[in-house]
Amino acid sequence: MKSAADAINANLAINIDRVVHRYEAREQSAFFIEQWQLASAERVFLHGESGSGKTTLLNLLAGVLTPESGSIELLGQAFSSLTARQRDKFRAQHIGVVFQQFNLIPYLSVLKNIQLAAYFANEKQGNVQAFAEQLLDKLQLPKTILKQAAGTLSVGQQQRVAIARALINRPELLFVDEPTSALDASARDAFMELLIEICDASSTTLVFVSHDLYLRRFFETFVDIKSLRSSEGVTEC
């Protein structure tokens, strides 16, 4: 029979347990989080001063970095124990990511960049273009941009395309790092409304990193990374 703890854990989207990360093996200091849990469909605004480890945490959650010890469970799966290949597959199918560098392929069109994300997640291509158009429209980008090479867009436009690419598979988990930094106030508010709408519609769990405290109003949970990090057992950065 399942225990009450098992039942609670089954509803967790993210479950971090004693995670240690070091950028270099001999590094004295380490990134350490003892425990952090997020329920399915929870939205968190993650804040912290520059260099406090927000991007490191997102990279661990996205599987770009792997912990030296401890475990990261995502959607009930032991994500940090997967092989690199299994992690890539899991990411493509369940995670949307928007990093500070947008990682668009510059010589491919906007549509191809978005289609590629859908392809890796095995989404049916038939519906991809219509949904991409809908997303770009809500992000205040013209439909004509779909045919343009991603490398020819402005930084603000690239940022919005990266967001559309992250949302195209309606991911269960969405990790975004400063997604509004290149947007003006009107595009920023439109983006936030779209993001919340899509997260609501798909019960997406969102970890949203930003320095912009104005954006805190869109979130039920606010976390300062300082409160997550602990020095027990290791020396902090």
Residue 80, Cα to own-chain centre: how many angstroms? 16
The H or E element spanning position 71 is strand 69-74
For residue 109, the minimal CB distance to ligand ATP (Å) is 30
Size of the residue set binding ligand ATP (CB under 6 A): 10
Which is nearer to ligand ATP, 103 or 122 (by Cβ)?
Answer: 103
**Judging by DSSP bridges, how do beta strands 12-21 and 69-74 pair with one another?**
antiparallel
Which is nearer to ligand ATP, 56 or 169 (by Cβ)?
Answer: 56
Which is nearer to ligand ATP, 56 or 113 (by Cβ)?
Answer: 56
How many Cβ atoms sit within 10 Å of the Cβ of residue 228? Answer: 19
Which is nearer to ligand ATP, 136 or 219 (by Cβ)?
Answer: 219
Which is nearer to ligand ATP, 52 or 113 (by Cβ)?
Answer: 52
- CA dihedral (1, 42, 128, 80) positive or negative: negative
Residue 107 touches ligand ATP, criterion: CB under 6 A: no
Which is nearer to ligand ATP, 54 or 87 (by Cβ)?
Answer: 54
Q: Return d(Cα 208, Cα 47) in angstroms, integer.
A: 8
For residue 237, the minimal CB distance to ligand ATP (Å) is 5
For residue 211, the minimal CB distance to ligand ATP (Å) is 6
Secondary structure of residue 207 in the 3-state scheme: strand
* Residues 45-104 close enough to bind ligand ATP by CB under 6 A: 48, 50-56
Secondary structure of residue 17 in the 3-state scheme: strand
For residue 201, the minimal CB distance to ligand ATP (Å) is 29
> Rounded to the nearest 5°, which phi and psi values hold at 100?
-60, -40
CB 159 within 8 A of CB 151: no
Q: Return d(Cα 144, Cα 162) in angstroms, integer.
A: 16
For residue 56, the minimal CB distance to ligand ATP (Å) is 3
* Residues 20-39 close enough to bind ligand ATP by CB under 6 A: 23
Q: In the complex, which residues of this chain contact ligand ATP (CB under 6 A)?
A: 23, 48, 50-56, 237
